[in-house]
Amino acid sequence: MMEFDPTRPKWQQIADAVRQRIASGEYPARHLVSEVQLESEFGVARTTVRKATAALREEGLIVTTPGMGSFVRDQSGGSM
């Protein structure tokens, strides 16, 4: 489990971790970013994970499809 910095909101730190995984290729294009997995991995509430995924969606790093989940956006020009 991640050691959280008490001076920053947890959702920002989770977003940073996912952003880093996307940048490193650990989460390639079209990779499912599971809220359930992140909730379990970081030991936080689903609301906290949703704030992190909302921030990543606003940045254009992930795309969310209702009923399917959130996926890493294909940065090469595709929709996902």
Q: Does residue 4 fall inside a structural domain?
A: no
Distance CA 37, CA 17 (A): 13
Is 78 a member of any domain? no
Let me know if residue 24 belongs to a domain. yes
Q: Is residue 59 one of the residues assigned to a domain?
A: yes
Structural domain count of the chain: 1
Instruction: Place 2 in a pLDDT band, splitting at 50, 70 and 90.
Output: confident
Q: Which band of pLDDT confidence, cut at 50, 70 and 90, is reported for residue 80? A: very low
What's the whole-number average pLDDT of the chain? Answer: 93
Domain for residue 80, yes or no?
no
pLDDT digits (tens, 9 = 90+) for 34-79: 999 999 999 999 999 999 999 999 999 999 999 999 999 997 754 4
DSSP readout, 27-77?
S-TT-EE-HHHHHHHHT--HHHHHHHHHHHHHTTSEEEETTTEEEE--TTS
Residue 36 lies in a domain: yes
pLDDT at 33 > cutoff 50: yes
